[in-house]
Structure 1
Amino acid sequence: MKKYTNFLLLFFLISCGNQEQELQSYKTKLAELEATHLTLENKVKEQEIKIKTLKDVTAKWDKDALEITNKDLKAQTKKLNQTVAENAMNKQVDPENFRKSFVFSLPNEFLQAFESVSDKYKISSAMNPFYTTGYFDTDDKLDYAVFIENKQNNKQGVAVIKGSDYSKFYILGAGNTLNDGSDDLNGLLALTTLNTNLVESRGENPAPQIKSLNVISLSFTNFSSAVAYLDEGEFKLYAQAD
């Protein structure tokens, strides 16, 4: 009888040990599931923040300026297609005409002026639309802001060209130091026009006194944004959403 009792006791202890191991295994799996759930929750929150930030940025875009740019691009695309079709029919290729058609529906006067710095910079089509128009100084002539790239170091930037004088333009970034200390607009996602009265004051840095009707809105892939404005003969950046 005593041996039988000892056997039952041993069996009970072994069973308890197995249950303890199973319980510990369940606890480990539960902890892993909780960690996975927390990670997913954090990712959802990050996505919600990014979506909200993007909505805030796009809500301030100048829709009229975007429509004008879009119409210009459509018209230029139609013209380019016609040129390509005509050249194909005539079995001809006109590189200069093609360049002016593709380089980007910009005024010929600007293209000619840009030749003076074309050894260092190139107009980039890596972003679409790659340019925007607006009144970025105090006159009544339409100005251009064009996405460019430094040929030597591949740093990105924006060239701003005055509509009143195509030979006078400003280079933001692309290897040139800006007022925030940066010299590269790498990660630029969108180049648009923003009405000056929509510029938001940010924290301890009050919004600058901007005299132009429009500013250039720069949106980046990390969901930060800034505006570029003319101040004392040079364009400066002022941070917006981040």
Structure 2
Amino acid sequence: MRSLNRPITAWAGRRVWLVGASSGIGAALARELLQAGARVALSARRAGLLQGVAAGHAQAVVAPFDILDQHAWAERYHDICDQMGGVDLIVFCAAAYQPERSWEVTSDGAAHTLAVNLRSVYTGLATVLPAMLARGSGGIAIVASVAGYLGLPNASVYGPSKAALINLAELLYTDLRPRGLDVYLINPGFVQTPLTAKNTFAMPALQTPQAAATAIRRGLAAGQFEIHFPKRFTLVLKLLRRMPYRWRFALINHFLLPQ
């Protein structure tokens, strides 16, 4: 079967901008790509953590900034282009998460989560797309989540923000693939990160950041549009999403809500 994207099998010299590279999946993926020979610009707010990820990798570029500062995007992008000559692939991996039921959501908290998870991606796209479209090549990778597949308890703002990213990736593919760009949608299950450490419930099929990074790299090498993992968990959620609402709600209430 033909790949939806051009497979990325050779990383030597490829210029990657990884936004959200200070911890968790982002840090593990940054190390994975650096070891494969890519030139990786590492961005997040915490410069010290980025320095730790970059340690020992001459081809790493530490580029800290606050993704909520819309003006900082253009400044940082120009700095990265000056050092690397451009960006071949941007990976949006930054995220905010607060486990909460719907009645616990606050206006300020929701605004912050949506700004980090969704608005920043739009700002980043507006920053990098003009150059990619002008040369007719480049890649956009958006890290969403299986929490965006369907409405799940405790993901009252996080889940809808990730559902929006899934929708965004789908329409980006339709818009951009005919113009020479590749679009990758990454939907992880539970991964051991500072975000999931906030959870007080059992997380099925919990995996390490390194396992997640390996799965992402394999998906990119296969040219997949949606890269989802681990399959033993994500396929169950995909099946649940296809069920009639009556069955779906009954299963969620039985298995995922406190009895």
- Name the TM-score, length of structure 1 as normaliser: 0.26
Higher strand residue share: 1
Larger radius of gyration: 1
Higher helix share: 2
* TM score, norm. by length of structure 2: 0.25
